[in-house]
Amino acid sequence: MPCTPRALRLQIPNTIQDDWHHPERLAIFHMSGITEKYNQAEKLKDEGKYQEAIELLQEILSEDENHVLTHLTLGRIYTLTGDFEKAVAHGQKACELEPNDPFNFTAMSVTFQRVFAGTQDTKYIQLAEDAMAESRRLESLR
C-alpha cells in the first residue's frame, strides 16, 4: 500500500498529524525511504546485480551511517564479489553498532569463514571461532 498522507495519518499520533515539520513525522518519512531503498537493494542482490545493490546501499549509508542491516548486506555482497577487506569492515561495523546482538556476531563469523575460503589465510579461522563464541555468549545472556 502506498504511503499517502491519509494512510500515514492513521499511523501517527493526533498531536503531530497536522504538523508536517514535526521531527517524528520527518523521521517516519526518512525511515520509510530507507526501508524502501533497502528492500530494493535486497532484491537487486538476490538478482545478482551486486554493483547496483552496492550503490543503493551506499546511498542509505549516506543518509544513515548506522543502518545495521545495510552494513550486514554490504558485508555479504562484498564476500560474493571477493572484496574481502570491505566485507570484514562492514561486518565489524554492524557488531560495533549493535554489540549485544548475537546475530551480528554469527554473521561476522560466517563472513570470516567466507574470507578464509577466498583467501586461505588461516587467521580468519580463529577470527570466525572468536566471533561465534561471542555470539553464543550473548545468546546465553538472553
The model's pTM: 0.77
Question: Is residue 15 one of the residues assigned to a domain?
Answer: yes
Start-to-end C-alpha separation, the chain = 36
Question: Is residue 123 one of the residues assigned to a domain?
Answer: yes
Q: Are residues 8 and 53 in the same domain?
A: yes
Number of domains into which the chain is organized: 2
Q: Are residues 9 and 61 in the same domain?
A: yes
List, for residues 29-78, the tens digit of each pLDDT value.
455 789 999 999 999 999 999 999 999 999 999 999 999 999 999 999 99
Q: Are residues 58 and 93 in the same domain?
A: no
Question: Is residue 70 one of the residues assigned to a domain?
Answer: no
- Cβ-based neighbour number of residue 14 at 10 Å: 7
Q: Are residues 91 and 136 in the same domain?
A: yes
What domain range includes position 38? 1-65
List, for residues 82-95, the tens digit of each pLDDT value.
999 999 999 999 99
